[in-house]
Amino acid sequence: MKRIQALPLGFLCLFLLPGGHALAQNTNSGDIQGTVTDNTGAVIPGVTITVFDVDKSESRTLTSNDAGVFDTGSIVPDHYKLTFTKPGFTTLVRGPITLAAGTSDLDAQLTVGSENQQVIVNTDLPLLNTESGAVEATLSAKTMVQLPQTGADWQNFIILLPGASGAPENSSNAANPGQVASINGNLPFASMLQDGATTTLPMSQNSDVTIFETTSEVKVSSASFSAQYGVGDIIYNQITKGGSNSFHGVGYEYFQNDALNAAPYGFGQKVTVPNLRYNNFGFSVSGPIIPHKLFFYFDFDKLLDHGTNAASFATVPTAALMAGDFTAPGLPTLYDPTKQTIQETGTHTYTTDSGQAFTQQCPCAIRPTFAAEYGNGNRIPTNMLNPVAQNIQKYFPTANTAGQISSGLAQNNFVYQSSNNNPFTRYFGRADWDIAQNQRLTISQTESDNPQFGYSPVCPINCGSEDVSRENAQISHVWTISPTATNEARFGYTNQLNFFVPSTLNQGFPDQLGLGFAKADNFPNVGINSFYGLASATNAVYKMHVYDPSDVFTLVRGKHVLHFGGEFLINEANSTAWGNINAASVNYNGTYTSINGLTSNTLPNAAGNYASGGAYADFLLGQTTSWSAGVTPEYGGRIKLPQVFVQDDIKLRPNLTVNLGLRYQITTGWSDVKGNEAAFDPEVINPATNTPGAIWYATTHAHDRTSLQAPNYNIWLPRIGFSWQPDSKTVFRGGFGIYASTWSEDTYGGGLGNAFGSSGSLSDNTNGVCPVVQLNADGSTPDTADPGCGVGARNFGSINSKYLTAPTTPDARNGQDVTYNQYHTPIPTNYQYTFDMQEQLGVDFVADIAYVGNHGKNLNFPVDINQVPQNLLGPNDKQSEPYPIYNNISGSPNNAISNYNSLEAQLTKRMSKGLEFNVNYTWSHFLDDQDSSGWGSREGFQNYQNAFDTNANYSNSNFDIRNMFKGQAIYQLPIGRGRMFLNNNLLLDEALGGWQASGTFVVQGGNPISITTGGNNSSNNQSGSATQFANLVGNVTAVPGGRLNRLSEWYNLSALAVPAPYTYGDFRRNTVYGPGLSEFNFSLGKTFNVFPERNVQVQVRADADNVLNHASFGQPGNNAIGPNQSAQITTTTVGGRTMQLYGRVSF
């Protein structure tokens, strides 16, 4: 049963303190707070604390209050030395310490004595977290720059965090998912910040990240974190480097070449090492403009990535198929739709050519076989081949490998390695200006341009330019009003400008192909089930802007350290639809060459292979099952999110801190500045039927609706946490919080841009009796090529009559596919709860064991809301759809949930005696109805069976990996300058000194696989492929042979059967698991002290990913069963060993 699991609601307190600013939230500053006590534990008020910035040679002074509490307020993350003095006590000097962004705890204990006597403690900040119950980690540049990686990017190290997992499918992979990782049960609804300002893109809900060289640290908050942080279940706060009081410079290069790499796993084929020419080089310079006052940092970074991608497989037609020859063993028997007769009522008993019989309720299409009709075997006569299809198929590449034969079809018979062209230029600048002793102004900006080109094996088909530019900027002002009051104001701005242009645009392809119903001068998108898709590359313009004004006020009162304020997040999407120039999209699935028009889905399994028709045969005949086209203009999407918060960190005792917070936010919902919005609304009356369910237009304000979603003014997000330190070595921490995600446009913006321009679509609603258009027609009249079509109930009009320009009537889209957007969409909400114990072992070790729980609700559940209900499934059931006047209605009821429970253990050693490491182990179980996210963070598939029953979809998440073991280590050879041995001999230092080795590893179980019937859907639920699960009829994991032998059939296909017609399967989503993953990366390098007196160093290093050259494998096939399907694995998550050479000169 679905429910919140182990949710400790009993101790949740809701509160809101009065007052505060109208704006506030995130930070790029550090903050040191603590309590001063004597050796009896009594608090000491009035202690003078001098905070000295070692890097900038600046200092400031504050005083502990009556509760002994002090707080530095917002200060620059840097290296600091703190001095505590008070008459009657010895002076305590603490540091240098390294301050990261966010709040750090530093308690001080003074002993009775003379203030002229100093006690110096030079250890860094404590390893224990004594200030909050949050689950947070800091990815420090000092560590990351020493670890192996190929491609300089801090995202390479997210996977090393406890509880972080990816999925092998879609935008990334399980080995290195980057920012699209799920962490601690949070689906990838993450928020990315740069120096405290939001950079999350409003459409794709991912983000452009900082240049690796300019990154000082990244703070990752993944559970029970402060109310200071706003939208998002995971927060990545990137903090950039700044200048200091000394001049520094760096020149660097990352070099990769295929000569250094091993060939990827070839799956029995001879595969060469992908061609690779990769250079990432740049320089940075920093220092004072005005000493002790104004500092700068500048970086230039250039990436040239030219080569080929890893080997990919595709299915292409053989010469025999292209000639209409389907006589190969195992191919389905073809039936001739041009000779069909229609039986309107009663039932009809079909007999296949193998003698098997089955009965179907009519209307029924009765067709002869091509073999019987023309006496030439299972072949299509040459004179029946559609001329446009013959012209299109010339663009298919030729098969270059045997592939795997499944149901007579050679699958994956074309292997290719497409080219890669990725020039990337980036700039970064930052200025820090101490306007006065109590005021600081910081400006930082990252700017980049990436004019790449997308290749395919059949350019110009599927090829095009992809120019993307980016800008992330912020300006912040910190004003220390008094030792107990600080204000931090910020304005952030982010943009990303995308311009995608297909190579086939305006090249005369419709005339060359003879395609008479093209609506633009572009190549059509041709979808043939099981075959490589020939298409135009995407045409689109995406111009996204984010404005983020914010303010946070910090106030220290007694035992309370208060933060309050808010932000006003404004998102803009000035964009076209993805693929806004669509000359024609045409699809073929085998219905018209099947015995009865319904493919194998409605037949007994034994008859299916012989009577199912062929998708490629339908294509050759030009019999099209669905069509769409459109040319639409740019729209102007807008959404605003005002937010306020209060956070009170209370030092109840020196060893006990309680965190109480509350965040309140409003979201306006998506709207368009020009009113370019149209979507299906179940409450708008359709004039054609006088029933509810029609198109809503923003320009008409139908049903008093003016936006895609209704504004939501009731979003309250409480947070609570604690940290208790019973002794100096032990801490118990815990927390609970509610978090909300944003509505990204790609996921929640369905309907934007739908009102203006021209578009149309049409799908066969005759159960495979009549195509919507012949491929060589002009689209101006209903299709009558097949007997019984284009007349009576089977006259659904011409495709041109469905192609409309800026309609405004509610019934304008009747008979078409439409988009639904729930008006009262609930906010995706996440409940996070944690309990953690930390134990410091000696000075440099800390052990940590934690329970982390998570419950999500109101999650996106993308379905066809016009699916035939389960109890009404049957033949000819189009009228049983909730809205039979429409075809597919794509939308979401937004009622999915998720549950996550984990135990995490880790051991950390900070750098001492030349060694630092972190190893961690996670056991977890992640369940949900559906994995949802912003489009740019999508991982895994979103299969479902019953659109009206989310409970039936509740199972293991795509991210569910039960066991994960990860780690990292850095070891410095203890020889040479600054090391333990032989540290005074220059010659020995040059030869033996400065050597360092490091490594990372990930060993984890596999991700689950969602298995459907794919194109063999027998339910007739009118929702197309991948909306029916299988029936379990055997042991699905009983596959003979070892791990490598199972690559050809990962799960037992014979244990899964296509369900009986008009039923759903009983084999739940995500039950079978794919292969696990293991990857070991290694680095070896040496640092030369060229001019030690000027701190000039040269570093050279070699990094190797998958140093053992051990392949880890991806998920099997297309995860479908039935005719023409396989469970073969043809991809890797970890391929061949890749190497990178790194050089760096610094002063």
Residue-wise pLDDT for 334-369, tens only, equals 999 999 999 999 999 998 877 888 888 888 999 999
Q: Is residue 807 reached through a cis peptide bond, with omega within 30 degrees of 0 on the bond before it?
A: no
The CA distance from 219 to 206, in Å, is 17
Look at the chain and report how many structural domains it folds into.
1
Token pair for 879: 């009228």
Q: Is 1114 a member of any domain?
A: no
Question: How much is the pLDDT for 34?
Answer: 87
> 213 in helix, strand or coil?
helix
Question: How much is the pLDDT for 1039?
Answer: 82
The CA distance from 205 to 191, in Å, is 8
Partner residues linked to 366 by β-bridges: 341
Closest residue by Cα to residue 422 from 458, 463, 468: 468
Whole-model pTM?
0.86
Question: How much is the pLDDT for 610?
Answer: 43
Statement: residue 652 has pLDDT above 70? yes
Other Cβ atoms within 10 Å of 120 Cβ, number: 11
Per-residue pLDDT tens over the stretch 237-273: 999 999 999 999 999 999 999 999 999 888 887 888 8
Closest residue by Cα to residue 889 from 910, 867, 919, 920: 867
Question: How much is the pLDDT for 679?
Answer: 96
Closest residue by Cα to residue 678 from 568, 577, 549: 577
Q: Is 599 a member of any domain?
A: yes
Q: Please, which pLDDT band fits residue 1042 given cuts at 50, 70 and 90?
A: low
Average pLDDT over residues 1070-1088: 94
Q: Is 789 a member of any domain?
A: yes
Question: Which of 800-809, 887-896, 1037-1046 is predicted least confidently?
Answer: 1037-1046
The CA distance from 454 to 459, in Å, is 9
Q: Are 861 and 944 in contact (CB under 8 A)?
A: yes
Q: Is 192 a member of any domain?
A: no
Per-residue pLDDT tens over the stretch 449-481: 999 999 999 999 999 999 999 999 999 999 999
The CA distance from 685 to 335, in Å, is 42
Question: How much is the pLDDT for 10?
Answer: 32
Q: Is 858 a member of any domain?
A: no
Statement: residue 673 has pLDDT above 90? yes
Provide the mean pLDDT of the chain: 90
Instruction: Provide the percentage of residues in the chain whose pLDDT is more than 70.
Output: 95
Q: Are 906 and 929 in contact (CB under 8 A)?
A: no
- Report the chain's C-alpha Rg in angstroms: 32
The CA distance from 79 to 53, in Å, is 6
Burial 81-90 (b: 16+ CB within 10 A, else e): bbbbbbeebb
Per-residue pLDDT tens over the stretch 141-184: 999 999 999 999 999 999 999 999 998 875 556 778 889 899 99
Statement: residue 25 has pLDDT above 80? no
Q: Are 490 and 472 in contact (CB under 8 A)?
A: no
Q: Is 785 a member of any domain?
A: yes
The range of the structural domain enclosing residue 355 comes to 319-395+590-624+758-805
The CA distance from 91 to 85, in Å, is 5
Token pair for 619: 């294509």
Q: Are 889 and 680 in contact (CB under 8 A)?
A: yes
Amino acid at 1079: E
Question: How much is the pLDDT for 88?
Answer: 81
> How many residues can be counted in the chain?
1147
Token pair for 239: 């903090």
Q: Are 742 and 205 in contact (CB under 8 A)?
A: yes
Question: How much is the pLDDT for 172?
Answer: 53
Question: How much is the pLDDT for 599?
Answer: 57
Tell me the range of 411-420, 761-770, 957-966 where mean pLDDT is highest: 957-966
Question: How much is the pLDDT for 802?
Answer: 92
Token pair for 1027: 């909306």
Nearest 5°: the CA angle 659, 665, 670 is: 150
> 363 in helix, strand or coil?
coil
Amino acid at 5: Q
Q: Is 18 a member of any domain?
A: no
DSSP characters over 434-486: EEETTEEEEEEEEEEEEEEEE--TTTTTT-EEEEEEEEEEEEEEEEEEETTEE
Q: Are 606 and 540 in contact (CB under 8 A)?
A: no
Average pLDDT over residues 665-672: 96
Per-residue pLDDT tens over the stretch 313-342: 899 999 999 999 999 998 999 999 999 999
Statement: residue 19 has pLDDT above 80? no
> 1048 in helix, strand or coil?
helix
Other Cβ atoms within 10 Å of 841 Cβ, number: 13
Q: Is 976 a member of any domain?
A: no
Other Cβ atoms within 10 Å of 963 Cβ, number: 12
